[in-house]
Chains A and B, each alone.
Chain A
Amino acid sequence: GQSLEQPSEVTAVEGAIVQINCTYQTSGFYGLSWYQQHDGGAPTFLSYNALDGLEETGRFSSFLSRSDSYGYLLLQELQMKDSASYFCAVRGSYMIYNQGGKLIFGQGTELSVKP
């Protein structure tokens, strides 16, 4: 099966940089995704890494190291509106029956941005 670990909460101040880590265990790997969810709202897709390295999208970047089964989401120039929960997710292995279509989420990291 798949499992993901990420910190439960992180606090930072406006304008700062914060890194949210995610370690995963999977029997097959098809990329690491990140989603943002504001309180009570719908999760929205942020980024996807299939290969090692850094992917940058504006103030947000996501990094992947497949050899370490590790990735992180980097948020720069933090704004109050970035206060939300952030989830990493991996897709199930096609090699295992009934796993290939599943997207499995971590428990989420609640980011609080302070003035």
Chain B
Amino acid sequence: DGGITQSPKYLFRKEGQNVTLSCEQNLNHDAMYWYRQDPGQGLRLIYYSQIVNDFQKGDIAEGYSVSREKKESFPLTVTSAQKNPTAFYLCASSTQYRSSYNSPLHFGNGTRLTVT
């Protein structure tokens, strides 16, 4: 079955450490996204990539970095510069939005990161 896999589901880190969240999709989608969700809050866009080897900052990119070396993969690194990294992180993908304005996002099950 096609889908998006995020791993791990739960992640614990000490303050000051960088941590990389994995996101893999086998839907053959061009576009991939990272969102952050805090308790009782909406989804805020961190980074997005419309095509391999290209990505753009979202609304809250500070303290995060990404790479898009393969179509299937869009890992997110939460660096020690991120002031408040504890959150629920959601990865998503969609067909290339330019082919259709209605390109619904398919989400992974998320990674819950706790930094102490």
Contacts and interface: CB of A to CB of B under 8 A. Distances in A.
B109 A41 contact: yes
Interface in A13-40: 30-31, 33, 35, 40
A103 B109 contact: no
B56 A98 contact: yes
Given A100-B97, A101-B48, A104-B45, A42 B33 contact: no
Interface in B25-72: 31, 33, 35, 40-45, 48, 50, 56-59
A40 B40 CA distance: 11
B84 interface: no
B115 interface: no
Contact of B90 (A30, A42, A98): A42
A42 B42 contact: no
B16 interface: no
Interface string A46-61: 0010100000000000
Interface residues on A, range: 20 to 34
Contacts of B56: 98, 101
Contacts of A110: 40
Contacts of B94: 103
B94 to A, nearest CB: 8
A105 B36 CA distance: 11
A64 B83 CA distance: 39
A42 B109 contact: yes
B42 A33 contact: no
A105 B105 CA distance: 12
Given A98-B57, A100-B97, A101-B31, A43 B90 contact: yes
B75 interface: no
